[in-house]
Amino acid sequence: MTEKKELIYDCLILGSGPAGFSAAIYAQRGNLKTAILDINMFGGQPSNYLEIENYPGFSSISGYELMEKFEQHADKFKVDKFPMLEIENVNLQKKEIETKDTIFKGKTIIIATGAQAKQLNIEGEAEFKGRGVSYCAICDGAFYKDKTLAVVGGGNSALEEAIYLTKFAKKVYIIHRREGLRADKLVCKRACENNKLEFIMCTIPLKIEGTKTVEKLILKDLNTDTIKELNVDGVFPYIGLKPNTDMFNGQLEQNQNGFIETDVNLQTSVKGVYAAGDVRNTPLRQVITAASDGAICANSAVKYLEAYDDELKNKYPSNII
C-alpha cells in the first residue's frame, strides 16, 4: 500500500462559498499558509443565484460572477486551491482532512461548508426527482416552457425562483404554509406584480402524483382542513436549508437543526476550529454575512496561532523557536 502524501498548512478552509473565500483572503493576507478545499466546484450556493442586488458595491450582479471575483481575489494572494475532493475522513481534534491519497494537516481549520436545500419529505418527492421535482430553477426551468408549475415556500429563494420560472412557464403557483411571506419586501412586491404567479396561502403539499412525470400535487388547506388537487407539470420545493455537516457530526456542538454553534470569535466547541457562513447558527444567511464571518474566523485563526507561538517561545529558549 502506498503512503498518503502529507500537506501541512497553518489554515485549512473547508468550503468555497463567500465565507470560505473571504476566510482564505484574510488568512493568507494575515501570513498564514492557507489552503481552500471543496468537494464540489468552487463558488458554493450563491453561484446558483440569478441576481444578487444587496452585496454592497454591486447594485446587480449574478451569483456566479460575484463568486468568480471572490476566487480571483484569493488567487491574487496565492491561496492553494483543491476543488472536487473526495474527502474520506475529517478529524477535527487532530485537525486532519483525509482524501484517498492525501492527508491535509492544519494548525487551524475553518468550516465554511454552507447548507443545501431541505426536502419536503412527502410521498412522490423522491420518486419524481428529476422527472418533475427539481431543486434548481436555473438548471431545469427551461424544460417547462408553457407548462404549469408549483413552487413551495415563502422565503427569498421560493419567490425569486418562482419569478424566474415565469420566464418559461405559463403559470406558477406559490404554495405557502401560512399568511404572510418570509421573503424581503421588495421581492414580495415583484412577485405580487407578476401576473403569471398565483399565491396559495395556508396550504401544504401532502403528495406528488403522476405516471411517468409529475401530473398533480395533493394539497391541504390548513384553515379548512380541505384536501384538493392541483394539476402541475413540475414542483420546485424551496423550503430552506440544511447545514452541510455530515463529515463533522458528533465532533462539535451543533443546535437541534444541525447548525454549528460558535462563540463571539466564531470558534466552535473544538479549539482552533472555526465556523463561518450558512453552516453555523446565525440569524442571517446572506453573502455579506458569510463573507464577514470568513474574515472574523481568519482573524481568530491568526490570533490563535500567535498565542500558540508565544506559548512555545515561553517554553523553549528564543534561539530555538
- Choosing from 153, 234, 243, 277, the residue that interacts with ligand NAP (CB under 6 A) is 153
Q: 244-253 — which CB contacts under 8 Å span 24+ positions?
A: 244/15, 244/113, 244/114, 244/115, 244/116, 244/279, 245/111, 245/113, 245/279, 247/87, 247/89, 247/90, 247/113, 248/90, 248/92, 248/111, 251/90, 251/91, 251/92, 251/93, 252/92
Q: Report the distance separating Cα 120 and Cα 164, nearest Å.
A: 21
Asked if 285 touches ligand NAP (CB under 6 A), the answer is yes
Helix/strand/coil for 188: helix
* Stretch 240-269 residues interacting with ligand NAP (CB under 6 A): 240-241
Per annotation, catalytic residue among 38, 140, 278, 293? 140
75 is annotated as an active-site residue: no
Chain centre distance of CA 47: 10
**Interface with ligand NAP by CB under 6 A: which range of 28-36, 129-137, 153-161, 188-196?**
153-161
- Choosing from 107, 129, 171, 182, the residue that interacts with ligand NAP (CB under 6 A) is 182
* Stretch 287-316 residues interacting with ligand NAP (CB under 6 A): none
Asked if 207 touches ligand NAP (CB under 6 A), the answer is no
**Interface with ligand NAP by CB under 6 A: which range of 4-12, 125-133, 166-174, 237-245?**
237-245
297 is annotated as an active-site residue: no
Query: Quick check: 67 and 21 in contact, CB under 8 A?
Result: yes
User: Considering beta carbons, is residue 204 or 218 the nearer one to ligand NAP?
Assistant: 204
Output the smallest distance, CB 116 to ligand NAP, in A: 10
User: Considering beta carbons, is residue 147 or 177 the nearer one to ligand NAP?
Assistant: 177
- Choosing from 54, 72, 224, 231, the residue that interacts with ligand NAP (CB under 6 A) is 54
Asked if 224 touches ligand NAP (CB under 6 A), the answer is no
For the chain, what's the residue count? Answer: 321
User: Considering beta carbons, is residue 49 or 236 the nearer one to ligand NAP?
Assistant: 49
For residue 6, give every residue at least 6 positions away whose Cβ sits within 8 Å of its Cβ, in sequence order, or none: 102, 103, 105
Residue 60: what are its φ and ψ, rounded to 5°?
Answer: -160, 125
**Interface with ligand NAP by CB under 6 A: which range of 100-108, 174-182, 210-218, 247-255?**
174-182
For residue 68, give every residue at least 6 positions away whose Cβ sits within 8 Å of its Cβ, in sequence order, or none: 43
Asked if 190 touches ligand NAP (CB under 6 A), the answer is no
Asked if 107 touches ligand NAP (CB under 6 A), the answer is no
Choose among 147, 146, 173: nearest CA to 158: 173
Grid cell digits, residue 47: 453561484
**Exposed, middle or buried: residue 110 (CB in 10 Å: 0-12, 13-18, 19+)?**
buried
Asked if 203 touches ligand NAP (CB under 6 A), the answer is no
11 is annotated as an active-site residue: no
- Residue count at the site for ligand NAP (CB under 6 A)? 22
Per annotation, catalytic residue among 75, 101, 136, 263? 136
For residue 161, give every residue at least 6 positions away whose Cβ sits within 8 Å of its Cβ, in sequence order, or none: 137, 151, 236, 238
- Choosing from 27, 52, 92, 297, the residue that interacts with ligand NAP (CB under 6 A) is 52
Residues annotated catalytic, as ranges: 136, 139-140
Residues lying near ligand NAP in the complex (CB under 6 A) are found at 49, 52, 54, 120, 152-158, 160, 177-178, 182, 204, 238-241, 285-286
